[in-house]
Structure 1
Amino acid sequence: MIQFNPKESGWAKTNQDGSPGLPIFEHCCHVGWVALELVKQSRKIPDADLTPIAIAIIAAIHDIGKWSPGFLVKCPLWLIRENLVLFAADHAWEAQQEKRHEAHSQDSIQLLLQKRGVKQSVAQAWAMIAGAHHGKMHVPEKYGNCDVTPFIDEWHFQRQQIIFELEAELGSEIPTYEVNKRDAIVPWLMGLTTIADWIGSDETYFPVNKGLDTGNGKIAAKLAVESIGLANPRIRKGLKFKDIFGFIPNELQEKALLAIKEPGIYVIEAPMGLGKTEAALACTYELLKTGKASGLYFALPTQLTSNRIHLRVNDFINAISETPENARLAHANAWLETDYYQPRAVQTIFKKFDGDATVSRDWFASAKRALLANFGVGTIDQALMSIVAVKHFFVRRFALSGKVIIIDEVHSYDYFTGTLVKCLCDELLKLGCTIIILSATLLPKVRNKLIGIDGNLVNVDTYPLITGKTINGDVIKPQFAVAPERPAVRKIFKNSNHLIEDAVKAAQMGARVLWVCNTVNLAQQIFGQLPSDSGFESGLLHSRYPHFIRQEREAYWMKRLGKTGAQQGGCILVSTQIVEQSVDIDADILISELAPMDMLLQRIGRLWRHMDVRSARIRPVSEPQVWIVEEEKTLAELEREGSERIKKAFGIKAKVYQVYPLLKTYQTLHDYEFIELSNKTGNSQIRQLLENTYENTDQDPDSWQALYSEVKGTEFAETRLAEGNTRLFSKMALADEEGKQTRLIDIETIPLLIVLESSVNQITLLDDYKISLPITEFKIQDARAIHQNIVRVHAWPFEQIKKESELSFYLKGKHCLAHLDNDGRLNMDGLKPEIKLSWCEIKGVIQIYNKGGLDESCD
């Protein structure tokens, strides 16, 4: 027979030698105390009916399912100690491992609650919290609403005895009030329980070889939460806008501070370069200072924009925080950055703690945990994975709860990601968040949909504009601001045959020319046509460089065209869309391919930004100009063409963007000689241009209407697909990878690694870094070097792609090693015979396709 004592039986953790350590009851207590400390120190409960003690018991009961034969048999030394080796064999304990211990926890909790009179659906909701703590939800059992006593076997009965002891120890019973599994509190509790379990399993604070001591256990929980960096940030009081940012606020920033005072959802619409970021951060400070927010996450479209804003947010945090603290960079490649997160060191009541921040740094290294830091900057994808059915989605949701979430460049997302953003906003509002959406190019109907209000309530055309509503649903009074006057931008259509010559002349006169292409191939071609001895500097930026080269060049050109590079003379920077938004650069002349109006306006926003440094008097051109590459067919011809011929006329642009917005942009631009981002009266043409492009469809030719129908069909399909990914209780656990479930990727890409030399003993990478072979252990410096040397290329030029190579230890899934010849050719297996890839240090990876076909977009 099995000897059972609810406080001492079983094992939850083992010692290093594999012997049983903590009993189940002790480990559950540790997790409950950690959960209590998390709530006391940093997290507000998004449910008025739930007390901190009740939360502690919910977290504590997560592991009662470890009292099950399938789990207990995993520790042979425990079986020996308890004289159960033969008993376990006779009763086939090994065969019972199929059902995981967390599923047993869920079942026993559900049965107990139903026995206590809770209806089945409510019991399932409370029980699923425990069942999810390893990242994946388990389908609940259907025991019915009848007397459930006959369904309880001896294991269930004994697990419930452990629950009774935990309730007595922690001083609370499992809540029984009515909840639905789709209520906001359920995933919040799943996240809290999972994090408390991670912390409560850390032997640094909870050694497996010590007996239970309630006092020391609670102290250990406090130590763990503080030293890991999960306590509330300490914010300086009484700071003014200038104290934080070094300059006085403009009208937009002042109006933002008047409008955004309570948790809710808000939209700041203003032209590029007007300080929307500082406006949002200033509001963040006020909310943090008054205890209405617990932290910050700044979400951006790309890793590049995240890296750039990260530096600015760090300056902000250093200004407002009483203790040394940085923003955690949260995206898939954050670990490649040299300025790796160094969290604050916290002095605690334990004298043995020496303030070493290593614990925090290691703890936050996981992508799942990155958002838990008080302050974070990263991609929108990391936030979106809190509302799609990926493993541990609820950890991210808990991590974001109560914080200020700034979503920048919201206009840049397609229907799929845009639908997810709307869902994210809806869910975060339920968790007490403040969501601040920033955009220069947002249609009113899109803004109203994001806020969740009737358009009649905010039916205003003023721009800049701040709108929103509080978490209580109260619509704020719209705040209007006047933007500083900016010179009108002259729009010029130019034939492609004259662009090189005209751009060179402008640069020779001292103009800073920014040339934005829609594809990497075209950017490389344009750059190759620029003269090398023309007396001015030229550069090329795109995504087909290894990370270490791209990072270096981006940093150089951001400085070269930034405020500090104001007097460095003429230049031409040829780039792709990577300079389109969230990049603070100042050009005198913009050359651009045709792009949808919102994207084109973002490009125009790079013109004449730093008027305080480079005034009109010292610029080599009298006015900002955008030269748009003229299409081969005239507007009149395009109005007569059929839809398929129109697609063919737009060429590769039709593979990068939807054709209808390109047509409408081209049509709208013909009505404007100048584009005013902000004129003397403070008005802007941005909204008018967008509405003419996206909402004026009545007079379109039949072929254009057909193309518009394609847009609406895409919108419907992508919206439904996105909504499907948010069905958390049907899909249960999708792949947890950045961008995998939050972006629609039309063309597959693979990592390509350029190799200079290769032997059985060593591989030399493009930057001369050497990796010894064979690889037998993980080395962080080798891992970083490999990923710093990766170039992402499209998969379609390959007939087959290997999944294995000498570096498969570090590169999972499909990847390619390309050996570099002396003539620059890249040799690799599996490439289609009509494709050639070569390497040029200046141009990057060059793709030559002898038969014409698809091209690569920017990023």
Structure 2
Amino acid sequence: MGTQETAHPPCELEQLLSPWGKAKSNDFSNYHPILYHMADVAHVAHLLYQSILTPSVRRIIAAELGLTESQTGRFISLLAGEHDIGKVSSFQFRSPIVKEILANTELNIVHPDYQPHGVITEYVLSRIDEPCITGWNCGKRLKRALARLTAGHHGRFPKDTQLSLGRNADGGEPWAKIRKNLLFQLTRMFEEAPPIEIKVSDLTEAGLVPIIAGLITVADWIASSEAFFPYEPLQPIHEYPAISRARAEKAVSSVGWKQTIDKVTTHERTAASFEELFGFSPNEMQKTVADIVEVSDCPKLIIIEAAMGEGKTEAALYVVERLLAQGFAQGMYLALPTLATSNAMFDRVRDYLGKKAAQNSVRFNLQLVHSGKLLSDSFEELRMATIDESDEGNVVAEEWFVGQKRSLLAPFGVGTIDQALLGTLQVKHWFVRLFGLAGKVVIVDEVHAYDVYTNELLKNLLSWLRRIGCTVLLLSATLPHEKRGQLLQAWGAVQYSEYCAYPRVTVVQQDRSLTKTFSPPAKKQPVKMTFHKTNPTALAVMIDKELPVTGRAAVICNTVNRAIQVYRTLKRCLEPAEWVVELFHARTLACWRQQTEESVMKHYGKNSSRDGKRILVATQVIEQSIDLDFDWMATDLAPVDLILQRMGRLWRHYRSERPIPFPHLCILADEDADGIVQLPNHRANIYEPYILYRTYLAIRWLEHIDYAADIDRLVQLVYSGEMTPPDQRWDLLMETHRQNMIDRRNELLAQAETVLLPDPKQGARAILRPGNTAEHNDIELIDDDDPKVHRTVRAATRIGDPSILLICVGELEDGTALAPFSACVPDLSQVKELMRFSVSVSSKKIFQAAIDLEPPDEWRSVPMLRHARLVRFERGVAQIGKTSVRLSKQEGLQWNAPDQEVVVDADI
């Protein structure tokens, strides 16, 4: 055990500045003293506390600690500065120079025990009982919790089992004296004031864990930059605080953080009207939401359930506008199901912020938050905009926030839900992700789209978001009553109405919910419903009959292979009749997919020209958050809520002329001789069979669907309503699949339980106490794209087959060149070019074959490429293991098994 730290002998300049805190890699002759680095972190933390935390979040911290806000800011700064005191230990002997210097002194440690310095930080801070040294004082129980918070700044909190340190780790009494001197000098660097007395006995509010630990970690990241805090000749200790403060001010401003927040808080006190923001008057739903946010009680949960195309996104952005103006939010994160929907929404949010920036002369920092952001032209434009140093009327993507773990820290972000959900899993730096969301408005779109496993993570996320000062908006066409109730309970609502007329807006303030209904917009045309066999040839005949002259049609398939089969047949049958047939799915090269997205928006979007006949065969990539408008649609059988979501792309916008009198939705499904719908084989069936059977029975005999009357009714009927099977065979079939679904759901819930953080309702100690989470059960989840990481320790936000990234080089069948490859470490422009020729594949066959390949050595130091596999094509064909794969611009990536024609998988 180490020595109890009790006194502080006179400090000497040489002794205090000798321990190193930061050094150049493999060059310990040029270093930044630990005292200087601790001061740097303390000053950055103080600026972050003042600048980026909303008043409501600062009040949360102050109330929990029983301090004034001024005292809280000083305490957080000191605690942050003390984060690296554990480096004053055996850690110093990592430097060969230090090891040689100390070899014959009382500070020598003959056999250093190199414990993580965060462990020693907790060990030291939890045992010091002299507030004049640390600048603060509290009871032992709370002191241990606070020490653990600052000790976790490298991504994981220490475990109790690591805290049994011997002299070979902490250095014993000689090193204890130096540590006390350093802490005392750090305290003196701030204004003279009595030690802060924290009288609460323990840390109870779990939300403080990510807020405090995240702030300290981010402050350390900024203060560790040599560009902002250079390694220079030593200055006298009394001169360094002013130097450090000035550098901290410049650093926080330079990364593009403080200037944005300052501008928002000074310019946004008067919110723009709805008409000023969007150029049109709000409908009844948007007015209802606007009335809700006039009540300033925050944080709050708002669930908007309204038909597709009713402007839920605009309503949510208006909430952002109001809360920014009221000072209840410091930014926004808009979370969507997929990369494609994120890219589409990014453009909309950029335009929204662009109007605000121009009106108020504000520089907004907007990030695209997903793994493929560097391939987005829109995002690249914002990155290039940072070259313009003007702060006036601009939307940019500040470079410091582009890194994977930093993107959520940006004031404004659009990305996938997965990036936020990782904050609920026991991954390294989970608390930084939650800190990045603290005090923001978080909008989750397409809430109905998530399965049981992901929904369980979402519930945990909601519970956390409330405790870190977020207002949350959940957007959906409609939700099953059971799912809606689960989300309300996760937030903390103890009273809520289970049933309420549709469409509706539900708001939770404090612990009570209120649901308001509103009049739907002018009645839309009912959608004509028909059923047709899945045979693509017969489908082609019907389509040409339905739209003989002009029109826009869509066929939505549940898997890529099914889409390719339908595309081939429709192309063969309809092109002679002057149809343009297009294919859109995700299993294609990134550059081709981007071109297809642009073509789809051009020919099927809101402002598209409507001449000629065009048909789009697609997978679920067009199901959500992409503003497309079709005259006629066919879809494979899917769960009822997804069918309705797809239906929302029919007659989405008003047009004076349509080629048919009614929007037409055709369900593609085959029946056996007894009238029972036939589902695909289990490998191609990506949806729950029990829900598909119930969906089929709910809609089979409908002749039309009315938006206002049927959307909610059908969803509730399929997911929770009473349904009598037509006969005994149906009854037996459905009961078998019902039980199978229950078993699978229980398995998924059990899987989620093993990876989730504890529910924050259990309090801070449950989060910090070893033995209560996956991490503390010695299962350290890995947030990494390495396909070799076993699924039991992978930080999965969704359940499904693992995927692997392929970079395609060589040539296509017609000789067209693919990605350029050279045997050298690629620079950023070369990385982007390689990624343009990438495709992610989740087929078990391809995954198992490709995982045995090794990435080129030149890629191992490049984050975006280090886990990718290089596949070389000759005339459009490549060999991965024993499987031959084909690549074409028209159809994407395909493969055949040696003994069969088509391998069906669930890639979408």
What TM-score comes out, normalization by structure 1 length? 0.88
Aligned position for 2:763 = none
- Alignment map for 1:342-491 (pairs within 5 Å): 342=383, 361-452=398-489, 457-470=496-509, 472-476=510-514, 478-491=516-529
Gap change, CA 1:765 and 1:406, over 3 Å in 2: farther
Deviates more, 1:257-266 or 1:652-661: 652-661
**CA-CA distance at 1:592 after TM superposition:** 0.5
Q: 1:748 and 2:769 equivalent? A: no
Post-superposition offset of 1:113: 5.3
Equivalence for 1:329: 368
Give the whole-Å Cα distance in 2 for the aligned partners of 1:102 and 1:143: 10
Equivalent-residue separation in structure 1 for 2:158 and 2:495 (angstroms): 44
The change in CA–CA distance for 1:72 and 1:735 in structure 2 (over 3 A counts) is same
- 1:438 Cα deviation from its structure 2 partner: 0.3
8 Å contact 1:269–1:465 — kept in the other structure? yes
**What secondary structure sits across from 2:286 in the alignment?**
helix
Q: Contact conserved, 2:683 with 2:904, CA < 8 A, in 1? A: no
Q: What does residue 162 of structure 1 align with?
A: 182
Conserved 8 A contact 1:754-1:766: no
Partner of 1:784: 832
* Equivalent in the alignment of 1:610: 653
Measured in 2, the distance between the counterparts of 1:311 and 1:358 equals 12
> Which residue matches 2:47?
37
Q: Structure 1's 177 and 142: CA in aligned 2 closer, same or farther, altered over 3 A?
A: farther
Matching of residue 111 in structure 1 with residue 127 in structure 2 = yes
- Using the TM superposition, give the Cα deviation of residue 756 of structure 1 relative to its aligned residue in structure 2, in angstroms: 1.7
Deviation at 1:76, TM superposition (A): 3.0
Which amino acid is 2:84 matched to? Answer: D
The separation in 2 between residues aligned to 1:239 and 1:538, in whole angstroms, is 44
Cα deviation for residue 280 of structure 1 reads: 0.2
* 1:197-237, Cα deviation, whole Å (9 max, x unpaired): 11111223222215353223222222222221222152443
- 1:603-633 CA deviation, whole Å, 9 max, x = no partner? 111100011xx13xx1000000111113232
In the alignment, does 2:667 pair up with 1:628? yes
Q: Which residue of 1 aligns with 2:3?
A: none
Spell out, residue by residue over 1:427-458, the C-alpha distance to the aligned partner (whole angstroms, 9 max, x if none): 11111101000000311221222122669632
Deviation string 1:319-361 (CA, Å, 9 cap, x unpaired) is 223323242001111122223243986999xxxx999x99984
Question: Distance between the aligned counterparts of 1:354 and 1:521, measured in 2?
Answer: 49
Cα separation, partners in 2 of 1:477 and 1:523, compared to 1, 3 Å: closer
What is the distance in 2 between the residues matched to 1:288 and 1:535? 52
Matched, 1:248 2:281: yes
For 1:251, give the aligned amino acid. Answer: E
Unaligned runs of 5+ in 2: 1-8, 165-169, 726-730, 758-766, 786-790
Describe the shift of the 1:122–1:343 C-alpha distance in structure 2 as closer, same or farther (beyond 3 A): farther
Residue 538 of structure 1 aligns to which amino acid in structure 2?
A: V
2:11–2:181 CA contact under 8 A, matched in 1: no
**Alignment pair present for 1:844 and 2:892:** yes
Q: How far apart in 2 are the matches of 1:650 and 1:346? A: 53
Residue of structure 1 in register with 2:695 after alignment? 665
Is the 8 Å Cα contact of residues 86 and 120 (structure 2) preserved in structure 1?
Answer: yes
The one-letter amino acid paired with 1:465 is: R
CA distance in 2, matches of 1:570, 1:157: 82
Query: For residues 272 and 631 of structure 1, what CA distance do their matches in structure 2 show?
Result: 28
Q: Which whole-Å CA distance do the structure 2 matches of 1:359 and 1:486 have between them?
A: 39
1:227–1:346: 8 Å Cα contact kept in structure 2? no
Aligned to 1:533: 576
Following superposition, the deviation at residue 84 of structure 1 comes to 1.9
Compute the displacement of 1:820 (Å).
2.7
C-alpha separation in 2, matches of 1:765 and 1:121: 70
Is contact 1:125-1:186 (8 Å) kept? Answer: no
For 2:162 and 2:871, how far apart are their aligned partners in 1? 55
Q: Distance in 2 between matches of 1:240 and 1:85?
A: 71
Output the CA distance in 1 between the equivalents of 2:906 and 2:815. 26
- Sequence identity of aligned pairs in percent? 29
1:64-113 Cα offsets, whole Å, 9 max, x none, are 111112x2122334456xx32455996325x422x011211111011125
Query: After the TM superposition, which residues 273-312 of structure 1 pair with which residues of structure 2 at under 5 Å, given as runs?
Result: 273-312=309-348
- In structure 2, what is the Cα distance between the partners aligned to 1:554 and 1:345? 27
Report the counterpart of residue 54 of structure 1 in structure 2: 75
Gaps of 5+ in 1: 145-149, 639-645, 679-683, 759-763
The residue aligned with 2:788 is none
Task: Report deviation, 1:396.
Answer: 0.9
Report what 2:291 is aligned to.
Answer: 258
- Letter matched to residue 226 of structure 2: E
Give the aligned partner of residue 76 of structure 1.
96
The alpha carbon displacement at 1:247 in A equals 1.5
Q: Is 1:598 aligned to residue 641 of structure 2?
A: yes
* 1:179-328 matched pairs, under 5 angstroms: 179-180=202-203, 183-209=206-232, 211=235, 212-231=239-258, 232=261, 233-234=263-264, 235-236=267-268, 237-261=270-294, 262-321=298-357, 322-328=361-367
The question of whether the paired residues in 2 share the 8 Å contact of 1:20 and 1:78 is answered with no
SS at match of 2:578: coil
CA distance in 2, matches of 1:244, 1:181: 41
Alignment RMSD (CA, Å): 3.3
Measured after TM superposition, the shift of residue 388 of structure 1 is 0.9
Amino acid at match of 1:309: M
Partner SS, residue 844 of structure 2: coil
Cα distance in 2, alignment partners of residues 378 and 691 from structure 1 = 30
- Say which is worse superposed, 332-341 or 425-434, in terms of deviation: 332-341
Q: Which amino acid aligns with 2:832?
A: R
Say if 1:14 and 1:457 are closer, same or farther in 2 by CA, change over 3 A: closer
Closer, same or farther: CA 539–661 of 1 in aligned 2, 3 Å: same
Q: Structure 2: which amino acid aligns with 1:216? A: I
Distance 1:332 1:813, change over 3 A: same
Cα pair 1:765 1:789 within 8 Å, conserved: no
Tell me, in whole angstroms, the C-alpha distance in 1 between the residues paired with 2:660 and 2:617: 19
Check 1:173–1:57 CA distance in 2 against 1; reply closer, same or farther (3 A cut): farther
**Match for 1:523 among 540, 563, 578?**
563
Cα 1:196–1:283 change in 2 (3 A) is same
Query: 1:447-846, aligned counterparts within 5 Å?
Result: 447-452=484-489, 457-470=496-509, 472-476=510-514, 478-497=516-535, 498-530=538-570, 531-611=574-654, 614-615=655-656, 618-633=657-672, 636-637=675-676, 649-651=679-681, 655-678=685-708, 684-697=709-722, 699-700=724-725, 701-727=731-757, 730-732=773-775, 733-737=780-784, 740-756=794-810, 767-773=817-823, 775=824, 777-798=825-846, 800-801=849-850, 802-806=852-856, 808-809=859-860, 810=862, 815-822=868-875, 824=876, 826-832=877-883, 836-846=884-894
CA offsets, 1:159-195, max 9 Å, x none?
2332233233335548563334772112211100000
Quote how far apart the aligned CAs of 1:596 are: 0.8
* Structure-1 separation of matches of 2:181 and 2:225: 26
SS of residue paired to 1:538: strand
State the 1:156 CA deviation.
3.6
Which has the larger displacement, 846-855 or 224-233?
846-855
Change (3 A) 1:635 1:168: farther
- Residue in structure 2 matched with residue 128 of structure 1 by the alignment: 148
Residue 432 to residue 771, structure 1, CA distance change in 2 (3 Å): same
Residue in 1 that maps onto 2:760: none
Alpha-carbon contact 1:107-1:140 (below 8 Å) kept: no
**Normalising by structure 2, what TM-score?**
0.83
Code of the residue aligned with 1:735 in structure 2: it is: I
Equivalent residue for 2:116, pick from 100, 120, 123: 100
SS at match of 2:303: strand
Matched residues in 1 for 2:202 and 2:783: separation? Answer: 28
Q: Do the aligned partners of residues 496 and 100 (structure 1) sit closer, same or farther apart at CA in structure 2, a change above 3 Å counting? A: closer
